[in-house]
């Protein structure tokens, strides 16, 4: 760990938060220094506090503890991330012999100074009981490596010195708070307290001192580990193309093996994250790989994200059927073991049994694969698993890694206060599903992607227009978060490019559940003047592009084995063509027909294929319609209309006199993707009503 406290930076933070007490502004600054170091704190882990004297509404001074809110991210924390608590009352709780979790939670909530502040960290009492003004707590990797050695207590004392007191593992909350203050009072010269298999607390009367001590002890542990750990490299390399193909095949299969129906019968799917750093691949090839996967988390806090054990996959068969059998067998074994573990350890009846599926796979020669209901969940699991694998691998080079007991892990994993970090918000309809939208750089593609993201899906956007594609991505990432939106540039008329893109999607997200062939090309010309080459160009995009993406998706759907939805964006011209629009109408009609054939053939895989016929969908100021950009000027000229007049003309033409937006097309896609009806092979108009284009 690098010491990063900078006086000028600290002053800038004080200036930024001039409306709060200067001591709290400094608390924010050093909290961020700690939080932005992933070797110390990962995803809401760790906590910090400061004690202040503030005047209440009567003008009386009160001692207030500001402690990090539960689940807040130290790397980006601001004043709103801290909960103010009435310190004197909390300190009196130390005199109690026992305090239930429910009592503790209620007392922490009812003694906040601001009802709108976040719920305080479950370690708030520990911060209250210790007398110091500033307290820092992390789960630093190097400290955990030391505490997981046999005779860990002696190991920590030897490496960190006499001013680092050590306590055995205790459950967070009241037991840990009592244990740490008792330890400190027996060691009043201590600068830190290390909790075995949990982490380290440092403290001081000013923010820099507490941070300096944290940095110093972590650096001391780092230096010791580096001096003892050797360098081990397996030296095995796979061709990049083989590596990508194997990884995509495995992840698609694993996603399918872990999908399951929830209580309402809705299929829950997972997004995936793949990590292939060289040292992680080396660990996957090591003799210790299997044992590392079985030997548990570094700290029980991680179990809600990764579960206690990982799945080790020793071999990837070359054929998909054998791969599916081996992955399914590994998952079933894991489920059975996890079921026994949960049955033995869940004591609190308010905690429902979590799903028994693994979150982390270590695959020999390929690296790390993690699963999560969202991409964010999968990335969090991957970050934690990466650090865990490295730490346990290094542990074996300096001694022997000794795991924490399952009872301690389960106490934390199934603790209601810990489970609350995962949130209980309603599950979006398409959460865990991965959608691919072609032609996403235009208005309709944008509207489709927007609605899919709104419904909880992760979206992969593709187009050959990279500029338009990045514009759409930036808008959607702003709305739904950067992790939910991916882009790939490829030509749908090139099957090899399409196939490679599907492999790349497997690498990035895990697979595909929703396919929306939307890319299209129009050309205005009467048959008499229509150049054959131009006709074939339109056919290559509209017909062959649709064929290519459907064909390339079939092996993915087959490996996943969880069904899926293909929603083809067709056109009203299939039923109601127009003069001088032959290339577009004919190619779209052919694509419509091949899509219906796909509905017949893919039903056995549980894949539904439906079609949407939009008409007169104009873009807006943010994303224009490429079709109307091309044909609009000619239509306006022939009818003597301006852009607003043309839109009004088409609105008046439909039966409902409705303005049709790209979002309406997106809503139709979400309807089909949500499996709300057992429908395949259907055509749904989104046109405001056009009797000539009614599906027949």
Asked if residue 111 lies in contact with residue 85, where contact means CB atoms within 8 angstroms, the answer is yes
CATH of the domain at 498: 3.40.50.720
Q: Is residue 589 part of a domain?
A: yes
Quote the CA–CA distance of 512 and 560 in Å, as a whole number: 9
Write down the pLDDT at residue 233.
52
Domain end position, chosen among 422, 447, 480: 422
Work out whether strand 434-437 and strand 514-516 pair parallel, antiparallel, or are unpaired.
parallel
Predicted confidence band of residue 76 (pLDDT cuts 50, 70, 90): very high
Do 320 and 359 lie in one domain? The reply is: yes
Q: Work out the number of other CB atoms within 10 angstroms of the CB of residue 304.
A: 20
3-state secondary structure 16-48: HCCCCCHHHHHHHHHHHHHHCCCCCCCCCCCEE
Q: Taking residues 435-449, what's their average pLDDT?
A: 97
CATH of the domain at 272: 3.40.225
What is the tens place of the pLDDT at every residue in 81-137? 999 999 999 999 999 999 999 999 999 999 999 999 999 999 999 999 999 999 999
Q: Which two tokens stand for residue 105?
A: 């939670």
Write down the pLDDT at residue 634.
75
Going from the C-alpha of 298 to that of each of 22, 147, 394, 437, 480, the distances in angstroms are 36, 9, 12, 40, 32
Indicate whether 236 pLDDT > 60.
no
Indicate whether 510 pLDDT > 80.
yes
Q: Hunting for tokens 């056009």 — which residue is that?
A: 690
Write down the pLDDT at residue 352.
67
Write down the pLDDT at residue 286.
95
Q: Is residue 137 part of a domain?
A: yes
Write down the pLDDT at residue 354.
85
What is the tens place of the pLDDT at every residue in 31-53? 999 999 999 998 878 999 999 99
Write down the pLDDT at residue 464.
96
What pTM, to 2 d.p., does this model score?
Answer: 0.93
Do 416 and 532 lie in one domain? The reply is: no
Do 23 and 144 lie in one domain? The reply is: yes
Write down the pLDDT at residue 238.
56
Indicate whether 232 pLDDT > 60.
no
Write down the pLDDT at residue 423.
72
Percent of the chain with pLDDT over 90: 86
Q: Which residue has the higher pLDDT, 424 or 6?
A: 6
Domain that holds residue 360: 240-422
Domain end position, chosen among 372, 390, 422: 422
Going from the C-alpha of 218 to that of each of 6, 133, 176, 213, 686, the distances in angstroms are 19, 21, 21, 8, 61
Q: Is residue 694 part of a domain?
A: no
Q: Taking residues 459-480, what's their average pLDDT?
A: 97
| Exposure on the CB side of residue 37, measured as CA atoms within 13 A | 23
Indicate whether 1 pLDDT > 80.
no
Do 276 and 130 lie in one domain? The reply is: no
Do 48 and 101 lie in one domain? The reply is: yes
What's the chain's average pLDDT? 94
Domain end position, chosen among 228, 262, 289: 228
Q: Is residue 535 part of a domain?
A: yes
Predicted confidence band of residue 350 (pLDDT cuts 50, 70, 90): low
Q: Is residue 654 part of a domain?
A: no
Indicate whether 280 pLDDT > 90.
yes
Q: Is residue 235 part of a domain?
A: no
CATH of the domain at 184: 3.40.225.10
Residues 6 or more apart from 366 whose CB is under 8 A from it? Answer: 243, 246, 247, 250, 276, 281, 284, 316
Active site residues: 584
Do 142 and 213 lie in one domain? The reply is: yes
Indicate whether 349 pLDDT > 70.
no
Domain count of the fold of the chain: 3
User: 462-468 long-range contacts, Cβ below 8 Å, gap at least 24?
Assistant: 462/436, 462/437, 462/438, 462/487, 462/488, 462/489, 462/490, 462/492, 462/501, 462/519, 463/438, 463/439, 463/489, 463/519, 464/489, 464/490, 464/491, 465/441, 465/626, 467/441, 468/441, 468/442, 468/623, 468/626
Quote the CA–CA distance of 559 and 380 in Å, as a whole number: 25
Work out whether strand 61-68 and strand 47-55 pair parallel, antiparallel, or are unpaired.
antiparallel
Q: Is residue 173 part of a domain?
A: yes
Q: Is residue 428 part of a domain?
A: no
Do 217 and 252 lie in one domain? The reply is: no
Write down the pLDDT at residue 645.
87
Q: Taking residues 395-399, what's their average pLDDT?
A: 86
Do 394 and 471 lie in one domain? The reply is: no
DSSP string, 280-315: HHHHHHSTTHHHHHHS--SSGGGHHHH-S--EEE--
Do 418 and 438 lie in one domain? The reply is: no
Question: Is 525 exposed, middle or buried, given 0-12, 13-18 or 19+ CB atoms closer than 10 A?
Answer: middle
Do 570 and 669 lie in one domain? The reply is: yes
Rg (CA), the chain: 29
Predicted confidence band of residue 586 (pLDDT cuts 50, 70, 90): very high
Do 474 and 609 lie in one domain? The reply is: yes
Percent of the chain with pLDDT over 70: 98
Do 388 and 512 lie in one domain? The reply is: no
Indicate whether 218 pLDDT > 80.
yes
Lowest mean pLDDT among 167-181, 421-435, 534-548, 605-619: 421-435
Predicted confidence band of residue 71 (pLDDT cuts 50, 70, 90): confident
Write down the pLDDT at residue 48.
98
Quote the CA–CA distance of 434 and 331 in Å, as a whole number: 21
């Amino acid at each position: 760990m690098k010491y990063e406290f900078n006086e000028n930076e600290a002053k800038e933070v004080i200036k930024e938060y001039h409306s709060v007490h200067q001591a709290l502004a400094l608390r924010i600054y050093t909290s961020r220094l700690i939080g932005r170091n992933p070797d110390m704190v990962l995803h809401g882990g760790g906590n910090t506090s400061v004690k202040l004297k503030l005047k209440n509404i009567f003008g009386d001074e009160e001692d207030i503890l500001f402690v990090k809110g539960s689940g807040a991210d130290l790397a980006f924390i601001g004043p709103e991330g801290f909960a103010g608590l009435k310190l004197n009352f909390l300190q009196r709780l130390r005199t109690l012999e026992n305090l239930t979790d429910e009592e503790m939670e209620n007392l922490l909530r009812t003694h906040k100074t601001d009802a709108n502040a976040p719920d305080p960290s479950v370690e708030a009492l520990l911060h209250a009981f210790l007398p110091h003004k500033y307290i820092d707590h992390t789960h630093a990797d190097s400290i955990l490596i030391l505490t997981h050695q046999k005779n860990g207590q002696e190991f920590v004392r030897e490496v960190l010195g006499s001013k680092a007191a050590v306590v055995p593992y205790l459950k967070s909350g009241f037991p840990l708070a009592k244990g740490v203050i008792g330890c400190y009072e027996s060691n009043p010269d201590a600068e830190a307290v290390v909790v075995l298999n949990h982490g380290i607390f440092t403290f001081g009367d000013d923010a820099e001192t507490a941070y300096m001590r944290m940095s110093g002890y972590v650096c001391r542990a780092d230096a010791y580990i580096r001096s003892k750990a050797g360098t081990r490299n397996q030296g095995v390399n796979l061709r990049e193309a083989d590596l990508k193909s194997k990884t995509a095949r495995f992840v698609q299969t694993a996603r399918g093996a872990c999908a399951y129906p929830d209580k309402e019968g809705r299929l829950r799917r997972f997004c995936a994250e793949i990590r292939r750093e060289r040292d992680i691949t080396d660990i996957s090839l090591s003799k210790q790989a299997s044992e590392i996967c079985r030997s548990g988390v570094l700290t029980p806090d991680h179990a809600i994200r990764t579960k206690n054990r990982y799945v080790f996959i020793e071999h990837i068969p070359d054929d998909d059927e054998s791969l599916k059998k081996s992955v399914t067998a590994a998952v079933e074994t894991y489920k059975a073991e996890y079921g026994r573990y949960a049955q033995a350890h869940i004591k609190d009846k308010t905690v429902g049994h979590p799903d028994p599926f693994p979150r982390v796979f270590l695959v020999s020669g390929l690296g790390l694969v993690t699963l999560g209901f969202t991409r964010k969940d999968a990335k969090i699991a991957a970050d934690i698993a990466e650090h865990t694998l490295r730490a346990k691998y290094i542990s074996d080079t300096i001694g022997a890694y000794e795991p924490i007991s399952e009872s301690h892990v389960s106490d934390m994993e199934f603790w209601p206060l810990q489970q609350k970090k995962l949130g209980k918000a309603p599950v979006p309809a398409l959460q865990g599903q991965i959608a691919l939208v072609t032609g996403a750089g235009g208005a309709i593609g944008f509207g489709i992607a927007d609605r899919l993201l709104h419904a909880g899906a992760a979206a992969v956007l593709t187009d050959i227009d990279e500029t338009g594609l990045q514009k759409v991505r930036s808008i959607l990432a702003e709305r739904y978060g950067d992790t939910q939106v991916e882009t790939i540039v490829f030509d749908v008329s090139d099957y090899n490019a399409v196939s490679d893109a599907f492999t790349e999607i497997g690498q990035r997200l895990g697979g595909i559940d929703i396919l929306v062939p939307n890319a299209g090309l129009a050309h205005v010309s009467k048959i008499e003047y229509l150049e054959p080459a131009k006709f074939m160009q339109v056919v290559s995009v509209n017909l062959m592009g649709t064929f290519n993406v459907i064909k390339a998706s079939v092996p993915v759907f087959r490996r996943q084995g969880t069904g899926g939805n293909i929603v083809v964006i067709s056109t009203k011209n299939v039923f109601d063509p127009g003069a001088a629009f032959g290339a577009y109408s004919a190619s779209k009609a052919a694509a419509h027909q091949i899509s219906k054939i796909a509905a017949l053939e893919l039903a056995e895989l549980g894949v539904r294929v439906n079609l949407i016929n939009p008409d007169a969908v104009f873009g807006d100021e943010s994303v224009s319609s490429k079709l109307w950009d091309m044909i609009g000027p000619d239509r306006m000229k022939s009818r003597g209309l301006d852009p607003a007049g043309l839109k009004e003309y088409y609105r008046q033409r439909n039966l409902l006199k409705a303005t049709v937006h790209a979002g309406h097309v997106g809503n139709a896609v979400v309807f089909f993707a949500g499996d709300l009806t057992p429908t395949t092979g259907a055509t749904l108009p989104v046109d405001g009503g056009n009797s000539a284009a009614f599906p027949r």
